[in-house]
Chain A
Amino acid sequence: MLTQIINGIIHTPSGWLKGGSLIINDNKILEVTNYDLSVVGAKVIDAKGMYITPGAIETHCHGGGGRDFMEGSEEAFRVAVATHMEHGTTSIYPTLSSSSIPMIRAAVATTEKLMAEKDSPVLGLHLEGHYFNMKMAGGQIPEYIKDPDPGEYIPLLEETDCIKRWDAAPELPGATAFGRYITRKGVLASIGHTAAEYHDVLDAYEAGFTHATHFYNAMPGFHRKNEHKYEGTVESVYLIDDMTVEVIGDGIHVPATILKLIYKIKGVEKTALITDALACAASDNPAAFDPRVIIEDGVCKLADRSALAGSIATMDRVIKVVTTQASIPLFDVIRMVSETPARIMGIQERKGSLQKGKDADILFIDKNYDLRGVIAMGKIIKSI
């Protein structure tokens, strides 16, 4: 069955396309055409002059709609995923923050089940932890944090291939072996919750850690120890051109100026935008999932207000915030929520841009950069 989306400004790899149309056949993009004449047999959707963009690919998200992926249950997963889909996420890698191995196994089972469903938005599991630097733990649960343990990670990755990304602090003993092992297994290795300086970051990069988790957050920048100065993880990541980063685009975890700087230095092709959303994102329940955390001014904080603990952002908010506050062109903002994360996760053959043959994951965004419609795998999730 054909659907033809007309009267929109279409985000294509070669720029904005006006006066064209996007034709969907079932769950795939059949064509992006440069005319908007009606195709025989196609159901027409009038985009009313809005932007038509690829769906957002979320690579770092803990939950939403009141449910956390750490719960591990199918229900929790379904609620959280459905919530984010309403807000523009058409593909998602559910994230567990530092957890016990049984908790990871429960989430693995659920992830595998959802991934097996036709047209699933769930593309794999993301483990944020638990091999982290305790000093940089932030909102992670300290009891679970430890050094990389091959006795845990090897059996786990032998059992399942649904884990697509795993974050660790590269300065820990055993971290480079961990990086090499998981990379061989096709898992993206990312540095996070770390105090690594240049040599650790470079060693990690060479061992396979090609990505940096919530850049600028839970890692040091240039700093002083006694009277001497040292580069932090931030500057080290900037020095390694080929390293990719992700940044929380809620406008709070890093200020708009820093978003602009990352965009300028790392560039669109190396920078993915994430929500890092907690369960309380897009939730009617005013309480946070975690009792140590409060919600205030559009963000989760530790209750003593000593640090931020995660965001309540959704992808629609990220798109709007980064476009309006950091003054980055919408075209590039969209690439940083679609094309770049697709490339980082190795799924660019089927997702990340509006091109013939790719999955029909589509957003409708109005002139105020508000999300007005969502199509995922050809199905209307949010009507315009």
Chain B
Amino acid sequence: MNLIQIYNGKILTPQGWINGGSVLVNGDRILAITSSNLPLENAKLVDATGRYVIPGYVAMNIYGAAGYQFHDGTVEAFNAIIGAHLGHGATTIFPTVGTVGYDKVLAAGKLCTKLMDGGNRIIGGLHIVGPYVSAEITKGRYDVKDPDPVMYERIVRELPCIRRWDAAPELPGASEFARFLTEKGILAAISHTMAEYDDVKAGFDAGFTHAAQLYNSMPGFHKRREYKYEGTVESVLLIDEMTTEVIADCVHLPPTILRLVYKLKGVERTALVTAALRYAAYDGNELAFSQIYIDNGVCKFKSDDTVAGGISTMDQLVKNMIIKAEVPFEDAVRMASETPARIMNVIDRVGTLEKGKDADILLLDNQYNITSVWSKGVRIV
């Protein structure tokens, strides 16, 4: 037995906070959450010094970091990105690849499958965005297409690691696509869409149960000529069972909107995501080959200076939710751990501190900064 006892912390459990208890880790799993601080025999003791002990974060919708993106498709890129986000508390990561062409998606997906088959449990599975998205929303920046069963069935066959795929529900064939994904156990999410209520509802009924990056890359209430229409945003808010996610970097959305989503959708239906691109957790020079640059805390496209994605990490999102959006600490943590774990269907092994789950554990100081990270029982930070 290789026992670690983390004691003298405030432990966040599904039943609430435990003060004066311990988290016992055996190997890569949590052996127990106890209500006692008393040192156990043969346990390696870790004094949490009164800090918060919380579950590791689950990062969904995450493209890159440290100068790399997952679509680079190399072991080096995967290791660098995962390593960078792990240091910021993401102990489960669903690598995201965007509309970068089938070859790159296949290459990244094959590597992802290989790493998972090789026992990498930090990687939760692949997340693909597009190419079945709205040309209007993506402004002709990508080679977008309507869902093509020949192609997507082939990709799903070749890449058993896929766990989530985003598409615009208003496209012809989108409902069949969602039904196909759902049947294969893959989360179907709506994103980069112009859908109004009828399309969102039809999409939901076909299996699109999640809305990517709510408020971003989708219309809200709007006017066409003199008439008014609900947008995707209001449609998602109208469908109670639909889960969502917000880019909580406080640049993609103001804190008021983060609080509103928290209030309307609630902790159990709202995940925090970074949508981080290669410039997250990166302090090198601007990369000449990249189509994006950093400005004012976000990535923008060189072509038209519009926002392309984030540079934040999970720890910053949680801090933003607490400090700027004024959401209770435990709710902010749950939106970064338990909720994404449930949405991505890995709640049986990660997302909360519970007996038998992976030993993915964070220590946070009273300013909500991460001071320690355990990933599968191994202390990283």
Interface residues of A (CB under 8 A from B): 197-198, 216-217, 221-222, 227-231, 234-236, 238-239, 252-255, 257-258, 260-261, 264-265, 301-302, 305-308
Which of B215, B226, B238, B296 contacts A229, CB < 8 Å? B215
CB within 8 Å for A235 and B257 given contacts A216-B228, A227-B300 = yes
Q: A261 near B256 (CB under 8 angstroms)?
A: no
Complex Cα distance, B254 from A197, in Å, reads: 11
Which of A231, A235, A254 contacts B228, CB < 8 Å? A254
B221 within 8 A of partner (CB): yes
Q: A308 near B226 (CB under 8 angstroms)?
A: yes
A306 neighbours in B (Cβ, 8 Å): 225-226
Beyond the given pairs A222-B233, A227-B307, A231-B254, 15 more chain A to chain B contacts, judged by CB atoms under 8 angstroms and listed by A's residue number, are A198-B254, A221-B220, A222-B215, A227-B306, A229-B215, A229-B216, A235-B256, A236-B256, A238-B263, A239-B256, A253-B228, A258-B228, A260-B238, A306-B225, A308-B228
B329 within 8 A of partner (CB): no
Q: Which secondary structure dominates where chain A touches chain B? A: mixed
Q: B298 near A227 (CB under 8 angstroms)?
A: yes
CB within 8 Å for A264 and B226 given contacts A221-B220, A235-B257, A258-B221 = no
Interchain Cβ contacts under 8 Å between A and B, 22 examples? A197-B256, A217-B228, A222-B257, A234-B221, A235-B256, A235-B257, A235-B260, A239-B256, A239-B259, A255-B228, A257-B197, A257-B235, A258-B230, A261-B238, A264-B237, A264-B238, A265-B264, A301-B226, A305-B225, A306-B225, A307-B223, A308-B228
Name the residue in B221, B229, B238 with the highest tally of chain A Cβ atoms < 10 Å from its Cβ.
Answer: B221
Complex Cα distance, B196 from A221, in Å, reads: 16
- A136 → chain B closest CB, angstroms: 13
Name the residue in B229, B234, B300 with the highest tally of chain A Cβ atoms < 10 Å from its Cβ.
Answer: B234
Complex Cα distance, B256 from A284, in Å, reads: 47
Which of B227, B237, B254 contacts A261, CB < 8 Å? B237
B251 within 8 A of partner (CB): yes
Complex Cα distance, B225 from A307, in Å, reads: 7
Complex Cα distance, B254 from A228, in Å, reads: 8
**Count of interface residues, chain B, beta-carbon cutoff 8 Å:** 34
- Give A308's nearest chain B residue, CB to CB: B226
- B303 → chain A closest CB, angstroms: 13
Complex Cα distance, B235 from A160, in Å, reads: 46
- Give B221's nearest chain A residue, CB to CB: A221
CB within 8 Å for A231 and B257 given contacts A222-B215, A257-B238 = yes
Complex Cα distance, B214 from A13, in Å, reads: 38
How many pairs of A and B residues are in contact by the CB < 8 Å rule? 79
- Give A306's nearest chain B residue, CB to CB: B226
Complex Cα distance, B237 from A234, in Å, reads: 14
- Give B227's nearest chain A residue, CB to CB: A252
* 6 closest residue pairs by CB, A with B: A257-B230, A231-B256, A198-B256, A257-B197, A221-B221, A222-B220
Complex Cα distance, B264 from A257, in Å, reads: 16
- Give B252's nearest chain A residue, CB to CB: A229
> Which residues from 314 to 349 on chain B have a C-beta closer than 8 Å to any C-beta of chain A?
none
A260 neighbours in B (Cβ, 8 Å): 238
B294 within 8 A of partner (CB): no
Complex Cα distance, B197 from A254, in Å, reads: 14
- A82 → chain B closest CB, angstroms: 30
Complex Cα distance, B240 from A260, in Å, reads: 13
Complex Cα distance, B49 from A14, in Å, reads: 56
A197 neighbours in B (Cβ, 8 Å): 256
Complex Cα distance, B238 from A222, in Å, reads: 17
A221 neighbours in B (Cβ, 8 Å): 220-221
B205 within 8 A of partner (CB): no
Complex Cα distance, B220 from A231, in Å, reads: 11
Q: B234 near A257 (CB under 8 angstroms)?
A: yes
- A247 → chain B closest CB, angstroms: 12
B305 within 8 A of partner (CB): yes
Q: A255 near B230 (CB under 8 angstroms)?
A: yes
Complex Cα distance, B223 from A221, in Å, reads: 11
B264 neighbours in A (Cβ, 8 Å): 238, 265
CB within 8 Å for A231 and B298 given contacts A255-B228, A257-B230 = no
Complex Cα distance, B236 from A264, in Å, reads: 13
- A99 → chain B closest CB, angstroms: 24
Interface 1/0s, chain B 246-270, versus A by CB < 8 A?
0000011110110110011000000
Q: B226 near A302 (CB under 8 angstroms)?
A: yes
- A213 → chain B closest CB, angstroms: 16
Complex Cα distance, B264 from A306, in Å, reads: 32
Complex Cα distance, B235 from A30, in Å, reads: 45
